[in-house]
Amino acid sequence: MQHRYIPMTDEDRQAMLKTIGVSSSDELFADIPEPVRFTGELNIKPAKSEFELKKEMAGLAEQNSHTQSHTSFLGAGVYEHYIPSIVDHVISRSEFYTAYTPYQPEISQGELQAIFEFQTMICEMTGMEVANSSMYDGGTALAEAVNLSAGQTKKKKVIVSKAIHPESLDVIYTYAKGFNLDIIEIDHQNGLTDLDQLKAELDDDTASVVMQYPNFFGQIEPLEDVQSLVSEQQKTMMIVSSNPLALGYLTPPGEFGADIVVGDAQVFGIPTQFGGPHCGYFATTKKLMRKVPGRLVGQTTDDEGRRGFVLTLQAREQHIRRDKATSNICSNQALNALASSVAMSALGKQGVREMAELNMKKARYAKKAFESAGFETLYDGPFFNEFIVKLNKPVQELNEALLQEGFIGGYDLGRDQEQYDHHMLVAVTEVRSKDEIDQFVSKVGELNG
Amino acid sequence: MANEQDFPVIFELSKEGRKGYHLPELDVDDFNLDDEFQKQYIRQEDPDLPEVSELQIMRHYTALSTRNHGVDSGFYPLGSCTMKYNPKMNEDVARLPGLSSIHPYQPESSVQGALALMYDLQTSLSHITGMDYVTLQSAAGAQGEWTGLMMIRAFHEANGDYQRTKVIVPDSAHGTNPASATVAGFEAVTVKSNERGLVDLDDLRRVVDEQTAALMLTNPNTLGLFEKDIIEMAEIVHGAGGRLYYDGANLNAIMGYTRPVDMGFDVVHLNLHKTFTGPHGGGGPGSGPVGVTNELAPFLPKPLIAKTGDEQYFFDYDRPHSIGRIKPYYGNFGINVRAYTYIRSMGPDGLKQVSESAVLNANYMMRRLSEEFELPYDQHCKHEFVLSGKNQKKMGVRTLDMAKRLLDFGYHPPTIYFPLNVEEALMVEPTETEAKETLDEFVDAMNQISKEAKEDPETVQEAPHTTVVDRMDETTAARKPILRYYRD
Ligand SMILES: Cc1ncc(COP(=O)(O)O)c(C=O)c1O
């Protein structure tokens, strides 16, 4: 059958075989030794026509509850936000999405400049001097930051707050194994990292201290105090994972002396899509510029003196340094970095603050509404757009019931730490209306019994 | 810094007070946030993001897109990257709200459609590679390599084989192979290629020993040649207790003809953003699933997708020997959706046709181009082939110059100066989605450039002549890095 994605006709085939000097294409595969040839038919479903397959996929999609069918209060690292329509229109320009990595700058200025702008915006948001062109996601960006700190300081001990995203913590462990790092976890109290314990663990052997700001519970860690502890050790680095939207309101980690700031730009223009692809970012001080993993775009000029952009400082990367590279990352999340750039351009200087504040105000309204309805909520400290509600029954059970009522409930904190059985982490972003919040609180009240 | 003829960066379009957004209303009681925070935690200086209108943004990025070349713009024979057509249907499917607007922590009962899709994709990839299990978690090829190596490491350690600290990679291997070996805590050891462009078996015997954890191999290799001694290689490595890792970036050549498992491989990663049409997005996102045989399955990253007797899908976290989590959530789902849609569009016959056409296209171009260009390894290739610009270099025209000259003809050049074992390399991968007419036109352009190299070398040396910018000063870019925009 002539498939719509394969233009070769029988006539083409005959002409090409003739030029090559073989009588059939099988001869081109003759160097595959007999014993390793596959002679059966691949056991996958037969081809479907475009119309039928689209229909099937739409049916599969409709089996899922999603944010257009349900009202969601689920966050925990992945959030439903306002995505300006222009974002998808820009990333749907096929000059962007069907291009490879911009290896040929003369015909890749569009992509290169877009990434340069992305790097600039990430620097602005985080208060850092250097940002790369993206990482896979916030979790692996954090794990790479940990590895960078160990390589840079030549120390093996890394202190990690247990109030970071639990899956990021897991990823840190997996990545650290390659370098035999020693990970020390610090507990939290009242929703904040226990600084006394941190102080006790910090010593001359510590490569870095890892914090999340706002942390997994939505609370704002006192980075100023953390920094003053960390700075007592000459070499120890401070690594901060940050939701970049929160930095529209919060003082950026760069101003507290962070050495590396990472996180996920999903909050800017990227749909939740079941957890990926999102867009990790990686920002550092100038001092660490030559240790940064992944691609960096730099500004330069062409032969005529015109401003232009190129991939630069490539001596860090796998295709040049091979086994001595600072990381093995090659493909990254470029198209999502573009999406985030468009969203950040749309929001602009005022919009990011406005959006951050809307999140905070609506979350505070929701927290109070839960309290007025008789729920115990945690914690009392300053927070961003998430807080904890204590329930009478397992969160999972309640969430199943909420689905029937048109809601996607919050995150089940008990799945990570037993002390949080029956505790739901509720996220309220700018897209939730007062009515939706009121109805959610009342429905949770009803179902909670 | 900016001069008149410079194309503006978006910050230069900014004007105080302009807006490109319209946020939902504040419909709850206002709240004085500043009362809640200590002053030092309240941002004093707003981030200097551009203030632009919606149309300004659209024009800016539209103009940028016209300064970029994608597969839809023109032929893109970038070797090792499989720049095939990215079907539009896949894009539509990935944007269905039931796939794009679902959250990774929703109850499993509310995402059965997504889980069914992932399960069927896993199963399909198992059959295509012959591997017993596939995980969809890794975000790209390089992460897949590292994941596979971490599993191999866990496997050896479970056997008490702590001395297996070395991973062997051919000198022609992609840079991520040795880099992934290092990140997984191994020492990368190079095995040489022989004069036929294949792994040198004697050298392989020399480097393999009781410290060997694995051999990483791309087959067909980066020269586009099938490693026909694969059976002996597998015996050598397995005989010494090592495992065989398959870099599946080049799977486009062999679907339906052979499977990694048939060749003796124990672990494989696939680049869904190559063979399976995930768009490259200007550098990503990709997806790099990893397949393993039964003996390595206990070490797969968490979670796996599994199915109960009554067809309910769930995440299986109960995997005590797992290497752990390699990435938050479940991989680049959006790219996996595209790959799945593609596989279902092609079916088993279609995928075999893909490989047949890809190989035929490559051999046809190779034969035609070998009239003007040095072909260092003169034998049938698979989906790609490598030429050397040696002849043209004698005339003072380097491969880089020819690549730049191709830009004037509207082409993205082949991969250049890779693999490292070919002088002045040009690595060409046409893919199966290109028509014969396109291949012929490209060959004509290459022949024309070769003619210019003889008769008018300056035209090539000074290329490109038609692009929006000329060659860039990369030396200064690296020496005095400017990695972000600063206002004057
Ligand atoms: C042969 C080979 N291996 C591995 C990779 C790495 O894949 P990725 O860029 O998805 O990390 C590539 C792609 O660049 C490749 O061509």
Q: Is A228 on the interface with B (CB under 8 A)?
A: no
Interface test with A, best of B1, B14, B61 (most A CBs within 10 A): B61
Separation of CA B92 and ligand 1 centre (Å)? 26
Going along chain A from its start, the domains and CATH numbers come out as: 71-83+349-448 (3.90.1150.10), 85-343 (3.40.640.10)
Chain-chain contact of B31 with A365 (C-beta, under 8 angstroms): yes
What does pTM read for this prediction? Answer: 0.98
The CA-based angle B90-B95-B100, given to 5 degrees, is 120
Residues A121, A267: Cα–Cα separation, whole Å: 14
User: With contact defined as beta carbons under 8 Å apart, do A289 and A323 qualify?
Assistant: no
End-to-end alpha carbon distance in chain B: 7
- Helix, strand or coil for residue A36? helix
Chain-chain contact of B345 with A274 (C-beta, under 8 angstroms): no
User: With contact defined as beta carbons under 8 Å apart, do B430 and B362 qualify?
Assistant: yes
The CA-based angle A208-A210-A213, given to 5 degrees, is 145
Alpha helices in A127-241 (DSSP H): 138-153, 166-177, 195-201, 223-230
The 10 Å Cβ neighbour count of residue B74 is: 14
Pairing of strands A130-131, A192-193: unpaired
Chain-chain contact of A346 with B20 (C-beta, under 8 angstroms): yes
Report the amino acid identity of residue A212: Q
Question: How confident is the model at residue B4, as a pLDDT?
Answer: 64
Q: Is A41 on the interface with B (CB under 8 A)?
A: yes
Separation of CA B142 and ligand 1 centre (Å)? 6
Residues of B in contact with A64 (CB under 8 A): 98-99, 102, 106, 110-114
Distance (Å) from the alpha carbon of B395 to chain A's nearest alpha carbon: 23
CA-wise closest residue to A31 among B404, B391, B229: B229
pLDDT tens-digit profile, chain A (449 residues): 899 999 999 999 999 999 999 999 999 999 999 999 999 999 999 999 999 999 999 999 999 999 999 999 999 999 999 999 999 999 999 999 999 999 999 999 999 999 999 999 999 999 999 999 999 999 999 999 999 999 999 999 999 999 999 999 999 999 999 999 999 999 999 999 999 999 999 999 999 999 999 999 999 999 999 999 999 999 999 999 999 999 999 999 999 999 999 999 999 999 999 999 999 999 999 999 999 999 999 999 999 999 999 999 998 888 888 888 889 999 999 999 999 999 999 999 999 999 999 999 999 999 999 999 999 999 999 999 999 999 999 999 999 999 999 999 999 999 998 999 999 999 999 999 999 999 999 999 999 98
CA distances from B69 to A143, A338, B335 (A): 33, 16, 21
User: With contact defined as beta carbons under 8 Å apart, do B427 and B414 qualify?
Assistant: yes
Residue B202, φ and ψ in degrees, nearest 5: -65, -40
Chain-chain contact of A360 with B33 (C-beta, under 8 angstroms): yes
Chain-chain contact of B324 with A170 (C-beta, under 8 angstroms): yes
Region for residue B320 given its phi and psi (left: phi exceeds 0; alpha: psi -120 to 50; beta: otherwise):
alpha
Residues B191, B206: Cα–Cα separation, whole Å: 9
The DSSP secondary-structure symbol of B110 reads G
Sign of CA dihedral A442, A444, A445, A447: positive
ipTM of the complex: 0.98
Sign of CA dihedral A420, A244, A173, A140: positive
User: With contact defined as beta carbons under 8 Å apart, do A124 and A149 qualify?
Assistant: no
Distance (Å) from the alpha carbon of A174 to chain B's nearest alpha carbon: 6
Chain-chain contact of B184 with A308 (C-beta, under 8 angstroms): no
User: Omega into B464 within 30° of 0, i.e. cis?
Assistant: yes
Separation of CA B351 and ligand 1 centre (Å)? 21
Token reading at A205: 């052997």
Please, which residues bridge with residue A263 across strands? A281
CA-wise closest residue to A98 among B328, B232, B280, B99: B280
Q: Which ligand 1 atom is at minimum distance from the Cα of B218?
A: 1
Q: Is A144 on the interface with B (CB under 8 A)?
A: no
pLDDT digit string, tens, across residues B157-214: 999 999 999 999 999 999 999 999 999 999 999 999 999 999 999 999 999 999 999 9
Question: What is the interface size between A and B, counted as CB pairs within 8 Å?
Answer: 717
Tell me which residue has tokens 């999502």: A336
Residues A319, A321: Cα–Cα separation, whole Å: 6
Sign of CA dihedral A3, A6, A8, A13: negative
Residue nearest to atom 7 of ligand 1 (CA): B141
CATH topology for the B89-345 domain: Aspartate Aminotransferase; domain 2 (3.40.640)
Residues 404-423 of A with CB under 8 A from B: 408, 411-412
Strands (E), A149-295: 157-161, 182-186, 188-189, 192-193, 206-212, 237-241, 260-264, 280-284
User: Which residue intervals of chain B bear CATH 3.40.640.10?
Assistant: 89-345
